[in-house]
Chain A
Amino acid sequence: MKTVPETTPRIVVCMVVTLLALGTVTWAQQAGNASLLYYQAFLLYEKPDDTMAQMITDFRKGTIGVNATIIEHIEKNRRVIDYVVAAANMPTCDWGYDYRQGADLALPNLPAVRRIAFLLSAEARLLAEQGDYATALDRCLTLRKMALQTCDRTLISYLVGIALNGLANGSLQGILGLVPDDAGQLNRLRSQLTHTQEKFAPLAYCLGQEADVCAQTMRIEKADVILKMVQECDGSSADPALARIQQADEAFFERNRTHWFSSTALVIDTLESSLPYSEMCAKLGELDKRLCAEAQDNPDATLTAISLPAVGRIYQLTVRQQTHLNAIQTAIDLYIAKAGTGRLPDALPADSPRDLFSGEPFEYERTDGGFILRCRAKEYPDEDKPHEYEFIVKP
Chain B
Amino acid sequence: MTQDNVMPGRVHKAPENFLDPQGIRTVLAQAREGRRSFIRQAFAAAAAGIAAPVALAEGNPIPSEGGDPNILKLPEHSTGLGQGVATDGYGKPSKYESNIQRRQSPGLTQTTQASVSFAPLQSLFGIVTPSGLHFERHHQGWWDVDPSKHRLMINGMVKAAKVFTLDEIMRLPSVSRFHFIECGANTAVEWGNVAVPTVQYTHGMISCSEFTGVPLITLLELAGADLKKGKFVLAEGADGSSMTRTIPMSQITSGEVIVAFGQNGEMLRPENGYPLRLVVPGIQGVSWVKYLRRIEVGDMPWAAKDEAVHYIDLMPDGSHRQYTNIQEIKSVVTTPSGGQVLLDKGFYNISGLAWSGRGKVKQVDVSVDGGRNWRPARLETPVLSKALTRFNIDWVWDGKPAIVQSRAVDETGHVQPTYRQLRGLRGTRSIYHNNAIQSWLVSESGEVKNVQLS
Chains A and B come from one and the same complex: no
B→A interface (CB under 8 Å): none
